Structure 1
């Protein structure tokens, strides 16, 4: 082998070891070298606990966000080391009223049981839930060293960062969506319909600190 070829080969090996973290021990495990077969050997799911729910889920919002996440390395151009991912995140956020916080003082009924006054806590937002079936990566751009690293190891957290960012943006959007106001309106309608069916002619529902 000519001297210049040996030099180039040596430099490539040094770069791979330093920047991609490749170990010789994993070389035989290059993914998809001979094809792969997927098997689900997961055991049965175990019930850990049961919790009684006292909240009324009164509204649900569907959201979608396009996450553009870029990570660059210092002192190296993005073509050598860096990633940029475009990810479409779809998710839902529920808004609920916690009926378990109502005390006896928060419910007033007149003597002939025709009028009821109920004070409820303000509606709250639940945690944003990402819909895996409708969330997907549009594109992934990776530098040379990142692509080399992908050849030798699977990274289960490769999309975790963009997924977390999608959840954060969806949660922020839900705060400005008027979802809690819709939930309180729906809860009021539910209680009015229920109490009217029980014979109450006047139902007054308000929200605040209980």
Structure 2
């Protein structure tokens, strides 16, 4: 039989069959942190709303709409001081006859020779105010200090001379005007404090005021005031003549 192109011929060759290889899984897409951006937006939103509420409340309080609203960021002072300890007591027999109030400007500087001030320098300008008392110590009266003449209604009193106390600084009226420190002093103060410098300024102010009081006429004023006080006292008791004498120191 003649071959015809219309007749299917039997297959002589089979197509090659490819054996299946191992299945490779596709890489998974990286997971995103759920809600990170949204959480940040929520926090910012809450902060803005809170700030607006606080500002609005402060504004309403300023115009007396909410007078009872307290500032949540107001300053707070806590006193943790310990109880006062009584150290000593003493009996005094003093009559304070006069006192004087003084003010001194202390300019204390500490530096090194041949070293520039911008490196080593400690200078304090301090205004000190203090009070000095002048008193009579009646515990020093002698046994014959008082002589009374009932017939002539006269009294003679011998007193010790007035004494001057130490100046007492008034810290409410004393203050530091300015302080200058060198570069190395600033570095040193950053690691350790030096309270001795401030103490020396206080002591110097106290010493200057005490010395100035001795030449201020406070002693004579105390004598005059003591004499007036005793004269008035004994005159009210019926004595016509009162003589007050001060012994030599």
* TM-score, normalization by structure 2: 0.66
Counterpart in 1 of 2:107? Answer: 68
Q: Residue in 2 aligned with 1:172?
A: 211
Instruction: Name the count of aligned residue pairs.
Output: 174
Confirm whether residue 143 of structure 1 aligns to residue 192 of structure 2.
no
1:113, distance to aligned residue in structure 2 (A): 6.7
* Gap regions ≥5 residues in structure 1: 1-36
More helix by share: 1
Equivalent of 1:130, from 169, 173, 190?
169
Instruction: Quote the Cα distance in structure 2 between the aligned partners of 1:156 and 1:162.
Output: 10
Whether the 8 Å contact between 1:85 and 1:140 is mirrored in structure 2 is: yes
- Taking CA–CA contacts closer than 8 Å with sequence separation of 6 or more, which of the two structures ends up with the larger relative contact order? 1
Task: Report how far residue 38 of structure 1 moved.
Answer: 6.8
**Whose Rg is larger?**
2
* CA-based RMSD: 1.8
Aligned to 1:188: 227
Output the TM-score relative to the length of structure 1: 0.78
Is residue 78 from structure 1 mapped to residue 78 from structure 2 by the alignment?
no
Aligned 8 A contact 1:120 1:209 in 2 = no
Deviations 1:76-109 (A, max 9, x none): 2111011111110100100001111112311100
Q: Which position in structure 1 is the counterpart of 2:16? A: none
How far off its partner does 1:119 sit? 0.6
